[in-house]
A and B are shown apart, each in its own frame.
Chain A
Amino acid sequence: MERPQNKTVAIDTVPLPERTIRVRLPTSVAYNLKSFQKVQATILDRLGCTACCSGWDIRYDVIRSFAFDEKLNLK
């Protein structure tokens, strides 16, 4: 079991059973950085301000096509 490097914050307050396994999630998975539908996966502009222009945001259009292309290719 790995020791965390930084202070950790527990979301759940129910006491843990004795044989609890602590697992760490790779940041590539936590922040969806794996290549997915060829959409650039980055960290820097996550959670920022959304109203940046006056145009057409295609992020939903791109993700929606996921359900129809098993090979994860952008249509």
Chain B
Amino acid sequence: MDFPLPELGVGIVYVPGLEPILEPTSTCIDFLEIEPQTLWQFHSGRKTSHFLPDYTLRHLRALPQRKLIHSVGNGLGGTYQPDTTFISALIDTIQALDAPWASEHLSVTQFKDRQKVYHTGFMLPPLQTYAGVKVAAETIRNFSRQLPVPLAIETGVNYLQPRSGELSDGEFVAATVEAADCGILLDLHNIWTNQQNGRQPVKEFLACLPLDRVWEVHLGGGFEHEGYWLDAHSGAVPEAVLSLTEQILPLLPNIKAITYEIFSSYIPLFGLDAIHSQLQEIQSLWQKRHSDRQKYHFKQTLHQSEMTPRQDIDNSLEPDEWETTLGELVTNGNISGRLADKLSEDPGIKLMQKLIWKFRAGAIVKNIGTLTRLIMIHSNSTTLEQFLDEYIKKTKPQTYASDECNGFLTFLVKKAPAIPYLQDILRYEQATIEAQLSQEPQLIQFSYDPRTLLEGILNGSLPDNIEQGSYELEIPPVSMAMDGPSQVGMS
């Protein structure tokens, strides 16, 4: 199979903060992979509810590297069909950045319960049966035919233990991509993570795949937590994964790109110099991709289309029941039944509950930091954790951080804990979010000089004296801060 796609080389998933190593003179980064939804905003009142702000688009276009699009948050592994507003926004982003291909995840990120669709807050594994293959392939085809560029789907992480009556990880991916006729984004750290956590060994997984469909590889780092290896995008790519990469690259006839992934919050810990070194190491692997494939012992099994369907696969379970049950369990929902009882025994469920908690809490503390800091200054971090815990257990995850933050703000308005200045800071945070989403300055009233309070909170203490009076605070839209690429980052 041949895909007429450009050969891009080695790149990195773009996160703000990488700018110092994205200069035109950089020799270790050939392209940037953009995860558009992390940079989109969602405002239901706008004509285009999902949108990439103009200042963000200008910033991305000014970066010298070629761009790829890696969609997140609308997994194609299940029954959920992304809506038209989402797809329109994705097409706009693909075209605006002239991406030669796009990718999404072979995961489940939405589930339905009583006609309402919920976001899972995490990349969940799809149902690995023939029924699951059929549903996933149809979802991928429906999505792919609407895009102006070819689509690859990413091989995901699965923190659950293997279940009887399901296809192996490799069999499921192979059957799905053949039925969907799409490309593969082979995340080697993901499948290595699965092996570390008791799922199919990497070499058996790779032996199932139609390797001519792989046109991109992802590499990332992780760490161990309570007996699990986590796909944390935390820094160094494990040596074992780099070794696998060296072995597998010569066997991928259509490989066009290798992408390194690290989360922005790990950048200060890992360091830009270390990222640069990691990319140089990956570049040297890329240069060896045409090495003699006979050097490596790698036996591929029959092509999926030549395989007889397995009779031991349990096709009685419907994909939507799998998605609803798994989705409710990991989001602390109330669900019972044979599947729920069985899955509840898997320690991976508790792990995913914890990881989802972390993501939701992280979105809140990052985006309404003045409020969370006020709570910690007055009370302590335990109180903040209790508030977050109560909120997270009572609600479902939101797709966008703006909705997650507004949900937490509403929760605290109703709870009304006795914290000084709390009601004012709640209004302040609501106004800040609205200023960013609407791109219009917001005005709110205070009975004292708010600048004294806000500077105090930012510096870690509540002021003893604040000048009283009638004040109106103007909160600027964030576009005023975006004077150019040099303005992005810490002030």
- By a beta-carbon cutoff of 8 Å, the part of chain A in contact with chain B is 2, 4, 6-12, 14, 16-17, 19-25, 27-36, 38-64, 66-68, 70, 72, 74
Contact = CB atoms under 8 A, between A and B. Distances in A.
A25 B460 contact: no
A48 B472 contact: no
B489 A41 contact: yes
B195 interface: no
Contact of B123 (A2, A41, A53, A56): A53
Contacts of B321: none
A5 to B, nearest CB: 8
A48 B363 CA distance: 9
B458 interface: yes
Interface string B446-477: 00011100110010100000000111111111
B470 A19 contact: yes
Nearest to A68: B381
12 contacts: A11-B434, A11-B442, A20-B471, A21-B471, A23-B474, A24-B474, A25-B476, A44-B59, A46-B366, A53-B231, A54-B122, A64-B385
A63 B388 CA distance: 13
Given A39-B265, A45-B15, A55-B232, A50 B39 contact: no
Contacts, number: 276
A48 B234 contact: no
B38 A49 contact: yes
Interface size class of B (residues with CB under 8 A): 35 or more
A59 B357 CA distance: 11
Given A55-B233, A60-B365, A40 B381 contact: no
A22 B446 CA distance: 10
A51 B490 CA distance: 24
Given A47-B367, A60-B358, 6 more contacts: A9-B440, A25-B476, A50-B362, A54-B122, A56-B223, A68-B381
B472 A23 contact: yes
B231 A54 contact: yes
A49 B40 contact: yes
A72 B460 contact: yes
Given A4-B441, A11-B431, A66-B376, A44 B39 contact: yes
B476 A49 contact: no
A45 B363 CA distance: 10
B123 A62 contact: no
Given A44-B56, A62-B265, A29 B454 contact: yes
A54 B355 contact: yes
Contacts of A23: 449-451, 471-474
Contact of A45 (B39, B109, B369, B476): B39
A6 to B, nearest CB: 6
Contacts of B96: none
A27 B476 CA distance: 7
